[in-house]
Amino acid sequence: MNERFLSRVPAALGLGLTLVATSACDDPLSSVEAIDKTRVVGAKIEVAGDPTRAAPLPGEDVVVRFLVLSPDPAPSFAYALTACVAADSASDLTTCAGEPLATAASLAPVPDAPSIAFVAPADAPLETRLAVLGNVCSSGAALPSEAAGTCDDGLAVRATTLDFYMDDGSHPNTNPALTSVSFDGTELGPETALTADCAELPAIPAGGKHGLNVKVDEASRDPVERETGADPGRESLLFSYFVSRGDVDHAFSGIESTDTTSSTGAIWTAPGSIDAPTLARFVIVVRDGRGGSDFTERRICLVPR
C-alpha cells in the first residue's frame, strides 16, 4: 500500500483533487489524525519565483515539497524522488510516460523536507499531467539505494505519488495560504514549531477541551468555472488536522464554495492526566481540490494540573 496524492482531473475543469493517504501494509491501524508513525500527508507545488502558484506553465521551474509526519519532533528523512510526465492510464497507479525530468535523493537522513526541483517541459501540450514518485524512510533511517524497498531499520519505505496538471495558459491555480492558527482565541505563532523545549512554549493544563481555529488568506480561493456555465464560483477548501497528543473531534473540516468565511477549526481534547510537562504538536494541511495546498505546524506544552 502506498502513500499517494492524486489529482485525477484537469485544473481547467475546476474539479476536485482526490487525496488518498494510506500507510504501509505492515503498520498497525491508528486514528487518522494521530501523529504516531511516519506518514506522507501532504505535498506543496510551487513555481520558482512565484511560490503562490501551484500550476506551472511550460518551461517554468517547479519545486515540490512533501510533508512527512513523524513522532520525532525533530525528524530527519532519507528519500529518493523522481519527477516526470505522467503516463495516461485507466489505472489509478501513476507511472512515468518517459525519461525522468529530474531526480533528487538523500540516502542519509537529513532534517530538510523531501523535495525536488525540475523544469516543466517547454513543449508540453495542453492539460499535460506531471508526476513526482518516490520513497521515504522513517525518521533517522537511511535508504540503502534509490531503488531500495526497505530502509536500513528493516521497515518498508513509504512510497508516495503526486500528480498534477500544468497551467494551460487560461486556468492559473494558486496555493491557499494559511495565515493564522489560534488556540482558545489566542494566536499561536509559527515560531512555536521551531522548538521541542516545553519551557519555551505556551503552557496548557492537561484535560479539558480547547478550540483550534485556522484562517486562510481571503485570496486563497481562486474562481473556478462551473459545468453549468454559470458565473464562476470559488474553490472549496479542505482542512486536515493531525495531533501528537489528545484527540480532535473531527480530522477534517471545510470551507464550501458558497461560504463567506475564511476560517474553520476543530475541538481538541487534551490528555486527562500527565506526570510531567509534555510537548503537544498540531499540524494543519489545507487543500483547494485542484493541486494547491499549504501546511503548517504549531506546538504547546501540556502541564499537569
pLDDT over threshold 70, residue 16? no
Residue 137 structural domain: 3-165
Q: How far is CA 249 from CA 31, 39, 84, 302, in A?
A: 12, 21, 39, 19
Residue 172 domain flag: no
Residue 22 and residue 11: Cα distance in Å, rounded?
Answer: 24
pLDDT of residue 92: 75
pLDDT in tens, 162-190: 999 999 888 789 999 999 999 999 999 99
Average pLDDT over residues 44-58: 95
Residue 17 and residue 225: Cα distance in Å, rounded?
Answer: 15
Q: Can you spell out the DSSP letters for 173-194?
A: -B---EEEEEETTEEEPGGGGG
Domain count across the chain: 2
**Residues sharing a CB contact under 8 Å with residue 259, sequence separation 6 or more, in sequence order:** none
CB-CB contact of 178 with 295 (8 Å):
yes
Residue 20 domain flag: yes
Are 247 and 270 in a shared domain?
yes
Are 112 and 53 in a shared domain?
yes
Are 156 and 21 in a shared domain?
yes
What's 233's DSSP letter?
E
Are 112 and 13 in a shared domain?
yes
CATH code of the domain in which 107 resides:
2.70.50
The percent of residues above 70 in pLDDT, for the chain, comes to 88
Are 252 and 276 in a shared domain?
yes
For residue 164, give the C-alpha cell.
498534477
pLDDT over threshold 80, residue 59? yes
For residue 281, give the C-alpha cell.
504538536
pLDDT in tens, 86-126: 998 767 789 999 999 999 999 999 999 999 999 999 998 87
Residue 173 domain flag: no
pLDDT of residue 232: 62
Are 111 and 13 in a shared domain?
yes
The percent of residues above 90 in pLDDT, for the chain, comes to 77
Instruction: Of 233, 239, 234, give the one whose Cα is nearest residue 216.
Output: 239
pLDDT over threshold 60, residue 64? yes
Residue with cell 519545486: 63
Are 145 and 221 in a shared domain?
no
Average pLDDT over residues 271-294: 95
Average pLDDT over residues 229-256: 90
pLDDT of residue 228: 56
Phi and psi of 210, rounded to 5°?
-140, 145
pLDDT over threshold 80, residue 225? no
Boundary of a domain, candidates 137, 165, 193 = 165
Residue 63 and residue 51: Cα distance in Å, rounded?
Answer: 9
Q: What is the pTM of this model?
A: 0.88
**CA 205 from centroid of its chain's CA atoms:** 30
CATH code of the domain in which 214 resides:
2.60.40.10
pLDDT over threshold 70, residue 19? no
